[in-house]
């Protein structure tokens, strides 16, 4: 009788561990989905900025150096954010 009780306790413990792993898996999938959405938004923003950069020839326009620097900073920021998200996904 005691062995059945011990077996029952072990099964209960395994069920609890399984439920915990399932819950963790669900949380991680939700986190990945959220990060994928952020990546998609950032990729769209990068694409938009690239299209704008292509359509504007920085050397032949009336932009001053400050405006050019601002555009470069925006691009660098977006690329840095994408890099951070990719590092987070790899962890």
Mean pLDDT of the chain, nearest integer: 84
Give, in order, the Cα–Cα distances in Å from 49 to each of 10, 15, 62, 82.
Answer: 58, 51, 18, 14
pLDDT attached to residue 60: 56
pLDDT attached to residue 85: 85
pTM exceeds 0.85, yes or no = no
Domain boundaries defined on the chain: 2-90
Question: pLDDT tens, 30-61?
Answer: 999 999 998 888 888 888 877 776 666 555 56
Give, in order, the Cα–Cα distances in Å from 39 to each of 7, 12, 16, 61, 80.
Answer: 47, 40, 34, 31, 12
Query: 65-90 vs 2-55: helix axis angle to the nearest 10?
Result: 160
Of the pLDDT bands very low, low, confident and very high (cuts 50, 70, 90), residue 63 is low
């Amino acid at each position: 009788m005691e062995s059945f009780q011990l077996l029952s306790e072990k099964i209960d413990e395994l069920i609890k561990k399984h439920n915990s792993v399932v819950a963790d898996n669900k949380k991680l999938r939700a986190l990945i989905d959220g990060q994928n959405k952020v990546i998609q938004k950032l990729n769209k923003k990068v694409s938009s900025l690239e299209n704008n950069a292509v359509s504007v020839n920085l050397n032949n326009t009336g932009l001053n150096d400050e405006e050019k620097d601002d555009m470069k900073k925006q691009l660098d920021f977006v690329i840095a954010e994408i890099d951070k998200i990719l590092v987070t996904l790899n962890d």
